[in-house]
A and B are shown apart, each in its own frame.
Chain A
Amino acid sequence: MGDRALEGLRVVDISQGIAGPYATKLLADSGASVTKVEPPGGDWSRRRGPFPGDIPDPGKSALYLHLNTGKRSVTLDVSVPSGQVVLKKLLARADVFVAGEKTSTLATWGLTYDDLCSTFPELIVAQVSPFGATGPYADYDGNSLTAMAMSSIMYNTGEPDREPLTTAGEPGEYIAGVQLWLGVLAALGNRASRGGGDHVDVSLAEAAAAADEYNAAMYAYQGAVRRRYYSRHIFGYPNDIVKAQDGYLVMIPGAGGFPSPLAGDTVSPMALLMEDPALDQSAFFRQGGERMIQWREFDKLIEPYLSTHSAAEIVMTAQALRMPFAPVPTAADLLADEHLIERGFFETQPTPAGELRLPGAPFRMSETPLRMTPAPALGDANAEVLVGELGYTTEDLTILSDRGVS
């Protein structure tokens, strides 16, 4: 089965929702020991769903089951002093502390990096928050939508005469999670060579902005302010989703798809695809600028072909002509996708919601492949951690529980 890359790394995680838990899922699936500290009512993603049959059940929330593989769960109210005392005992035995709160909230709990660094000089304190630990908006609230808004990406997504459109699936949270994971690994590298903990500070808004392709660059190098135009690239048309006879595909002619003066008299791959060499004589095949501006005229040229061929057939033929066309699958299509099945991408896991195929590792490591175990039940490690590791008695546990601390 291979070694585990992060064996021996100890992580204590009080974050909830998506960004922080996704970062610690990546650590846990790589072999780190992640103790997930949940409020006695559970991480809010346990209430988020979706649930089987739409019946809420904190053990069966899809979002929670997806984002918390490989962890163990301890319930602890870190907003009260007795909970903070227990948490600090956990931190004394940890390499990394992950929190998903604003600095002002962590300060009321005495859990900012500055509060902790003298007591735990080797601890890496990783904080992910909507706008970051410092700066004029540090106290503002947010989510994936506010992050995408601040990034310049949303302004350039959508139709020109409608409101800007966010990308679905809460990508702002996931990007921030990946950036937090990167930050933790970088700080661990620094600690390995020089010793000492660090504060890793990730803002959802900045993480999303770091994914900008060229919106800011167009201004900083050209003075041009880009605007959404059917989510199309500035470089040229189509390179976008188009409708075929039975569904959608992405039409990407690529570098050599249209006629080029360097190609001489050979028929272009786009004209070959549409089985009509005469298309190469059209201004919309020959001139990218015309195609971009008069795209409706270009669409008329390709519509007869698109409306009479299936999306899958078009993608296969175009790929055979070395054009990087792509499919537009739904969740159902992905789960049935032959290529992903051949790669063994989905990982079947037994969960309280039945056997589920979870999205697998986002990258394959030959020596230390990521591995999952199912997400924990709420507080499944309370006794193991509080009694077994921290030395509390079972009576203490009852008292903590009665007081609502655990």
Chain B
Amino acid sequence: MNGHEAALPLDGIRVVDLTQVFAGPTCTRILADLGADVIRFESPNRLDVTRSLITTDNDGKDHHWHRSSYFTIRNTNKREMVLDLTKPEAIAILRKLIAGADVVAESFTPRVMENFGLGYASLKELKPDIIMISLSGYGQFGSMRDFAGYGMGLEPASGISSITGYEGGPPMRTGMSFTDPYSGFVGAGAVLTALHYRRRTGRGQYIDLSEQEAAMPVMGAALLDYQMNQRLWQRRGNRGDHAAPQGCYRCAGDDRWCVISVSDDAEFARMVAAMDHPEWADDQRFSTVLARFDHHDELDAAISEWTSQRDHYDVMHTLQAAGVKAAAVLDGKEVLFDPHLRARGQFDMVEQPLLGRRPVQKHLAAKFRRFEAKTRTPAPLLGEHNEEVLRELGYGDDDIARLKAEGVIADAPNLPVPPQLISMALKLPYDRYIPAGILQALEPDYREQLGIADDGERAQ
């Protein structure tokens, strides 16, 4: 049922997954990777919006909901039902499932679960030791609880953007919805903590996770500095208080970069030796940490002169071999090809229906000796497991046919317009994004490069 043979830590644990988009599905994907039977739910009237994001080959064709890469990578290892929760019988099915479940996860705005009659108090009546987690932007109580929260706003709301940015420039977001995966990881740990407690005591509980709060420990030192010294941290690019030089340096090639971070004089001595500029160590501008902070711009110029003639990976390997902290700044393609990440299995290959073999990045980064928390089964098609799950609950052929006819379950969305029109609207204008600088490249032969071309064609 879970698509795996080796024993996993959450074998036998069932998760009813009412989350959508990014943070919640990240949380439940980790639970699924650890062996839990995660059953996710969608509404035929309003699919998970990520089923429309980043369609394979930028083309949703006539079933965009099955071609989304965004949905695929965070919903592998899960099963799925499509239930129309506006129909009482759908709620009844959900309640039956919850009565046999261990964990319920949801990411609606507060009150929605109550409106369905599925608040924690009700769930506890169905299953006294249930563990319920609500992942929301700002938490289940407090004056901002009803605020709509998108991941792109919650990193700034946590304070992190106020200290991120170029020196003298405006606050900047990370180039993605950073606190979404972060709070998904935190949520998975919260559930594991609650499961540990349940093993010991037999008791379940309710977990209220506010994405704004989950990320705020990253601001810990800044929050305390303000209390101690009334000092607000300034934006300062890639520099820091504890390393000089520290920065991101231009390398040979088109938009290639390497970061370097030097903590002390000994590391600086190793760096100048590796760069074949031993005279810098004796230069009064650079010979001590304090001097290097004072002359950071001049030092950066000298380092850039050296790095700009070399490949970013060469800079990394040369400096690391000498004992200097350095790393190539990888783009989305390079992450897939990096030999170290490959050797350690950062991506699993999944045979995704309609899309063929595709890489899926690990979400639980921890590696173990006794098991592997990896992608085993593809992301579910819409309502793929409706019948399977209903049969497990004891429903027969006639029931299932009736539920289908009455629209309680579905395996296609109710769309207001033909799917081809939606697919057209979803197509991003990549031909214009390249000259605008929004895309670095578009490589039609990418499947050959990744070694998945034949599989892809066979599956089409």
- B183, B188, B325: the one contacting A142 at CB < 8 Å is B325
Determine if A178 and B160 form an interchain contact, defined as CB atoms under 8 angstroms apart.
no
Q: Which residues of A contact B233 (CB under 8 A)?
A: 168, 331
Asked if A5 is at the interface of the complex by the 8 Å CB criterion, the answer is yes
Residues 310-338 of A contacting B (Cβ, < 8 Å): 319, 322-335, 338
Determine if A206 and B143 form an interchain contact, defined as CB atoms under 8 angstroms apart.
no
Of B220, B441, B447, the most chain A CB neighbours within 10 A belong to B220
Asked if A277 is at the interface of the complex by the 8 Å CB criterion, the answer is no
Asked if B340 is at the interface of the complex by the 8 Å CB criterion, the answer is yes
Closest to B157 in A: A326
Determine if B189 and A182 form an interchain contact, defined as CB atoms under 8 angstroms apart.
yes
Asked if B10 is at the interface of the complex by the 8 Å CB criterion, the answer is yes
Asked if A250 is at the interface of the complex by the 8 Å CB criterion, the answer is yes
Determine if A3 and B336 form an interchain contact, defined as CB atoms under 8 angstroms apart.
no
Determine if B148 and A331 form an interchain contact, defined as CB atoms under 8 angstroms apart.
no
- Annotate B210-223 by CB proximity to A: 1 below 8 A, 0 otherwise: 10011111111111
Closest to B366 in A: A183
Asked if B363 is at the interface of the complex by the 8 Å CB criterion, the answer is yes
Determine if A213 and B148 form an interchain contact, defined as CB atoms under 8 angstroms apart.
no
- Annotate B221-247 by CB proximity to A: 1 below 8 A, 0 otherwise: 111111111011101111011110011
Asked if B199 is at the interface of the complex by the 8 Å CB criterion, the answer is yes
Determine if A145 and B429 form an interchain contact, defined as CB atoms under 8 angstroms apart.
no
- Annotate A10-42 by CB proximity to B: 1 below 8 A, 0 otherwise: 000000000000100010001000000000000
Q: Which residues of A contact B138 (CB under 8 A)?
A: 339
Determine if A363 and B53 form an interchain contact, defined as CB atoms under 8 angstroms apart.
no
Determine if B213 and A343 form an interchain contact, defined as CB atoms under 8 angstroms apart.
yes
Determine if A155 and B331 form an interchain contact, defined as CB atoms under 8 angstroms apart.
yes
- Annotate A248-261 by CB proximity to B: 1 below 8 A, 0 otherwise: 10101011000000
Asked if B171 is at the interface of the complex by the 8 Å CB criterion, the answer is yes
Q: Which residues of A contact B146 (CB under 8 A)?
A: 319
- B141, B173, B232, B370: the one contacting A241 at CB < 8 Å is B173
Nearest-Cβ distance from residue B224 to partner chain A, whole angstroms: 4
- Annotate A238-268 by CB proximity to B: 1 below 8 A, 0 otherwise: 0111010000101010110000001000000
Q: Which residues of B contact A7 (CB under 8 A)?
A: 200
Q: Which residues of A contact B164 (CB under 8 A)?
A: 165-169
Q: Which residues of B contact A175 (CB under 8 A)?
A: 182, 185
Asked if B333 is at the interface of the complex by the 8 Å CB criterion, the answer is yes
Determine if A170 and B218 form an interchain contact, defined as CB atoms under 8 angstroms apart.
yes
Determine if B332 and A152 form an interchain contact, defined as CB atoms under 8 angstroms apart.
yes
Known: A164-B257, A225-B332. A220 touches B203 (CB 8 A): no
Asked if B344 is at the interface of the complex by the 8 Å CB criterion, the answer is yes
Give the docked Cα–Cα distance between A354 and B229 (Å): 12
Known: A222-B56, A222-B58, A325-B153. A153 touches B176 (CB 8 A): yes
Asked if A65 is at the interface of the complex by the 8 Å CB criterion, the answer is yes
- B137, B188, B217, B259: the one contacting A174 at CB < 8 Å is B217
Asked if B19 is at the interface of the complex by the 8 Å CB criterion, the answer is no
- Annotate B16-41 by CB proximity to A: 1 below 8 A, 0 otherwise: 00000010000000100010000000
Asked if A157 is at the interface of the complex by the 8 Å CB criterion, the answer is yes
Determine if A367 and B197 form an interchain contact, defined as CB atoms under 8 angstroms apart.
yes
Determine if A187 and B225 form an interchain contact, defined as CB atoms under 8 angstroms apart.
no
Determine if A189 and B34 form an interchain contact, defined as CB atoms under 8 angstroms apart.
yes
Give the docked Cα–Cα distance between A105 and B125 (Å): 53
Asked if B9 is at the interface of the complex by the 8 Å CB criterion, the answer is yes
Asked if A368 is at the interface of the complex by the 8 Å CB criterion, the answer is yes
Asked if A273 is at the interface of the complex by the 8 Å CB criterion, the answer is no
Q: Which residues of B contact A202 (CB under 8 A)?
A: 365-367
Determine if A165 and B438 form an interchain contact, defined as CB atoms under 8 angstroms apart.
no
- B73, B248, B323, B440: the one contacting A227 at CB < 8 Å is B440
Q: Which residues of B contact A185 (CB under 8 A)?
A: 189, 192-193, 196
Determine if A48 and B242 form an interchain contact, defined as CB atoms under 8 angstroms apart.
yes
Q: Which residues of A contact B173 (CB under 8 A)?
A: 157, 231, 240-241, 250
Nearest-Cβ distance from residue A264 to partner chain B, whole angstroms: 12
Q: Which residues of B contact A225 (CB under 8 A)?
A: 331-333, 439-443
Closest to A160 in B: B437
Give the docked Cα–Cα distance between A51 and B195 (Å): 39
Asked if B116 is at the interface of the complex by the 8 Å CB criterion, the answer is no
Determine if B160 and A183 form an interchain contact, defined as CB atoms under 8 angstroms apart.
no
- Annotate A366-404 by CB proximity to B: 1 below 8 A, 0 otherwise: 111000000000000000000000000000000000000
Closest to B203 in A: A367
Nearest-Cβ distance from residue B231 to partner chain A, whole angstroms: 7
Q: Which residues of A contact B232 (CB under 8 A)?
A: 330-332
- B70, B171, B182, B417: the one contacting A178 at CB < 8 Å is B182
- B201, B217, B344: the one contacting A132 at CB < 8 Å is B344
- A141, A153, A178, A233: the one contacting B325 at CB < 8 Å is A141
Nearest-Cβ distance from residue A70 to partner chain B, whole angstroms: 14
Determine if A163 and B10 form an interchain contact, defined as CB atoms under 8 angstroms apart.
no
Known: A3-B197, A231-B172, A326-B154. A146 touches B365 (CB 8 A): no
Determine if A134 and B344 form an interchain contact, defined as CB atoms under 8 angstroms apart.
yes
Determine if B446 and A219 form an interchain contact, defined as CB atoms under 8 angstroms apart.
yes
Determine if A150 and B327 form an interchain contact, defined as CB atoms under 8 angstroms apart.
yes
- B172, B203, B206, B365: the one contacting A207 at CB < 8 Å is B365
Segment of B87-95, B286-294, B354-362, B393-401 in the binding face: B354-362
Q: Which residues of B contact A243 (CB under 8 A)?
A: 170
Determine if B189 and A26 form an interchain contact, defined as CB atoms under 8 angstroms apart.
yes
Determine if B330 and A155 form an interchain contact, defined as CB atoms under 8 angstroms apart.
yes
Give the docked Cα–Cα distance between A147 and B341 (Å): 12
Asked if B338 is at the interface of the complex by the 8 Å CB criterion, the answer is yes
Known: A215-B331, A255-B49, A362-B217. A189 touches B192 (CB 8 A): yes
Asked if B43 is at the interface of the complex by the 8 Å CB criterion, the answer is no
Asked if A293 is at the interface of the complex by the 8 Å CB criterion, the answer is yes
- A200, A328, A357: the one contacting B171 at CB < 8 Å is A328
Asked if A94 is at the interface of the complex by the 8 Å CB criterion, the answer is no
Known pairs A149-B259, A230-B172; list 4 more (Cβ under 8 Å). Answer: A155-B332, A210-B361, A223-B443, A235-B53
8 A–B pairs (Cβ distance < 8 Å), ordered by A: A169-B163, A186-B368, A190-B370, A212-B361, A225-B331, A227-B439, A329-B159, A363-B213
* The 8 nearest A-B residue pairs measured at CB: A326-B153, A183-B366, A223-B446, A215-B332, A221-B69, A156-B175, A62-B224, A146-B327
